[in-house]
Amino acid sequence: GAVVSQHPSRVICKSGTSVKIECRSLDFQATTMFWYRQFPKQSLMLMATSNEGSKATYEQGVEKDKFLINHASLTLSTLTVTSAHPEDSSFYICSASHRDSGNTIYFGEGSWLTVV
Give the binding site for other proteins (CB under 8 A).
1, 6, 32, 34, 42-44, 46, 49, 91, 93, 95, 97, 102-110, 112
For 87, phi and psi rounded to 5 degrees?
Answer: -70, -10
Q: Is residue 100 classed as helix, strand or coil in its secondary structure?
A: helix
C-alpha–C-alpha distance, residues 56 and 79, integer Å: 10
C-alpha–C-alpha distance, residues 99 and 56, integer Å: 19
Distance in Å, CB of 46 to other proteins, minimum: 7
Q: By C-beta, is 7 or 82 nearer to other proteins?
A: 7
Distance in Å, CB of 84 to other proteins, minimum: 20
Nearest in space to 15 (alpha carbons), one of 111, 88, 91: 88
Q: By C-beta, is 14 or 40 nearer to other proteins?
A: 40
Q: By C-beta, is 28 or 91 nearer to other proteins?
A: 91
Distance in Å, CB of 94 to other proteins, minimum: 9
Q: By C-beta, is 82 or 107 nearer to other proteins?
A: 107
Q: Which amino acid is at 82?
A: T
